[in-house]
Structure 1
């Protein structure tokens, strides 16, 4: 069953509680509710982990743990999904974020001249110790695109997890049913 699949590769509560990051939260991470393996807990954990994992933020693992503690879903599954943003996936995540943001604000996709102009503004701002102007329209486009992208991927993985769980249960019952 799907429950056995997830339980087979999840670490023990004490192993996770001894991680440096988890020591910040104390004994709250040993709450048995955070370790349940059921359809609702796992699918919500996929949603939370994917949403925060798709956003290239520093310390997004802390945001994942805080959200998991708030909604009481499976902790290790959510933390595993924090690794969605890594050096190999960062460029596609940013590109899709820019593309979605450009579609939301109905602007053309960013070209080389626009990026060079922004880099020039940033370098001018740094060399003049904070005096100058930085066009934040690209940041607005990127941020809205990244939030939309994270939400879309989180919903997709949530639905896939629920469908996988249902399919697995159906397959289990088909194997148990006597053949006539």
Structure 2
């Protein structure tokens, strides 16, 4: 089974999206623009890269932003949306560690990293959470703010190469397998 067939099986069709309540507009939009939905190696790799780059930056609407950026760059929208899922609470610490490292390199900051104090949330008062989180983030400082876009670019470019080369490897493997099968038949 080829990589594009695998991708087509995993991704819902625009018709399926049109039948899903709340996503009808996306299905109609994608049906009129098939280049945003095609399971093509370059478009899927670009969509995944853009989705991860957008997903690194902590926004409440990562998937919507990834879809908008994918539409802007004519990349695969489903791959962009799915790639935002790579940034989750389990991957937050390594991604932010990379972001702080890259931010310190860009800013030329040397020496030990001062760790912020523990994030203290008053669970009984959700209204105080935003202040506590913003104070904690401000203690992480400028290296994080500079490093997040840098980490997005680095991780996005890395994912582009991984998807592109991985897809190429699957295609090459399938061609060799078919050639071996033909040789055995003869």
- The normalised TM-score by structure 2 is 0.74
Partner-residue secondary structure (3-state), 1:179 = helix
**Alpha-carbon distance between aligned partners in 1 of 2:183 and 2:30, rounded to the nearest angstrom:** 46
Question: What residue is the counterpart of 1:8 in the other structure?
Answer: 9
Stretch deviating more after TM superposition (44-53 or 24-33): 24-33
CA contact (8 A) 2:17 2:24 kept: no
CA contact (8 A) 1:43 1:162 kept: yes
Question: What residue is the counterpart of 2:30 in the other structure?
Answer: 29
Find out whether 1:111 has 2:114 as its counterpart.
yes
CA contact (8 A) 1:56 1:90 kept: no
Q: Which runs of 5+ in 2 are unaligned?
A: 121-127, 132-137
Give 1:25 deviation, angstroms: 5.8
Q: Which runs of 5+ in 1 are unaligned?
A: 127-135
**Alpha-carbon distance between aligned partners in 2 of 1:140 and 1:7, rounded to the nearest angstrom:** 42
Give 1:74 deviation, angstroms: 1.4
CA contact (8 A) 2:17 2:27 kept: no
Question: What residue is the counterpart of 2:125 in the other structure?
Answer: none
Question: What residue is the counterpart of 2:69 in the other structure?
Answer: 67
Deviation digits for residues 125-177 of structure 1 (CA, Å, limit 9, x no counterpart): x7xxxxxxxxx695421122111111111111111111112212211221222
Question: What residue is the counterpart of 1:79 in the other structure?
Answer: 81
CA contact (8 A) 1:102 1:109 kept: no
Deviation digits for residues 114-135 of structure 1 (CA, Å, limit 9, x no counterpart): x24xx9xxx9xx7xxxxxxxxx
1:110/1:16 Cα in 2 relative to 1: closer, same or farther (>3 Å)?
A: farther
Question: What residue is the counterpart of 1:179 in the other structure?
Answer: 183
1:96/1:175 Cα in 2 relative to 1: closer, same or farther (>3 Å)?
A: same
Aligned pair count reads: 162
Deviation digits for residues 2-61 of structure 1 (CA, Å, limit 9, x no counterpart): 1112112111223335363x4676832333222211112111111111111222222121
**Alpha-carbon distance between aligned partners in 2 of 1:73 and 1:51, rounded to the nearest angstrom:** 13
RMSD: 2.8
Question: What residue is the counterpart of 1:165 in the other structure?
Answer: 167
CA contact (8 A) 1:101 1:145 kept: yes
CA contact (8 A) 1:102 1:145 kept: yes
**Alpha-carbon distance between aligned partners in 2 of 1:141 and 1:41, rounded to the nearest angstrom:** 32
Which portions of structure 1, spanning 4 or more consecutive aligned residues, are displaced by more than 4 angstroms?
Answer: 22-26
**Alpha-carbon distance between aligned partners in 1 of 2:142 and 2:27, rounded to the nearest angstrom:** 37
**Alpha-carbon distance between aligned partners in 1 of 2:41 and 2:26, rounded to the nearest angstrom:** 25
- The normalised TM-score by structure 1 is 0.76
